[in-house]
Amino acid sequence: MQVQLASASLIIIGVWALIKDSSEIIEYGLWKNFNTAAYISVVNSALGGLTVAAVLKFADAVLKGYATALSVVLTGILSMLFFGTHLSSFYFVGMINVIISMLLYNNKALYENVC
């Protein structure tokens, strides 16, 4: 399914590039101004896609939910650190809720000792 979506987007973007920038593509080629930052962005997107595919293939439904929740928490924290985003108190309450639920879900010894 991912290959079909990638193929469709490649065709659409390719046609758009030919319509919009065909003269520059012919004169300079496709790789003009494709620098180190662009390579890093492409590799990052590819690794992120492979990670998501692996999680979807090998994880169960509960683990997928926790992975999504943890990614939201980490994105918020990194956004706060790198971009100065202001996070509300509701976000921190939700973050604490996610962390506690993950600890309770993964701690089998707690279940054996309490129940």
Q: What is the C-alpha separation between 58 and 87, in angstroms, rounded?
A: 32
Contact status, residue 74 vs residue 87, Cβ threshold 8 Å: no
pTM (global) more than 0.75:
no
| Token digits of residue 86 | 């202001």
pLDDT in the model for residue 70: 85
pLDDT in the model for residue 115: 56
Domain chopping of the chain, boundaries: 35-114
Average pLDDT over every residue of 84-98:
90
pLDDT digits (tens, 9 = 90+) for 27-82: 998 888 889 999 999 999 999 888 888 877 877 777 778 888 888 889 989 999 99
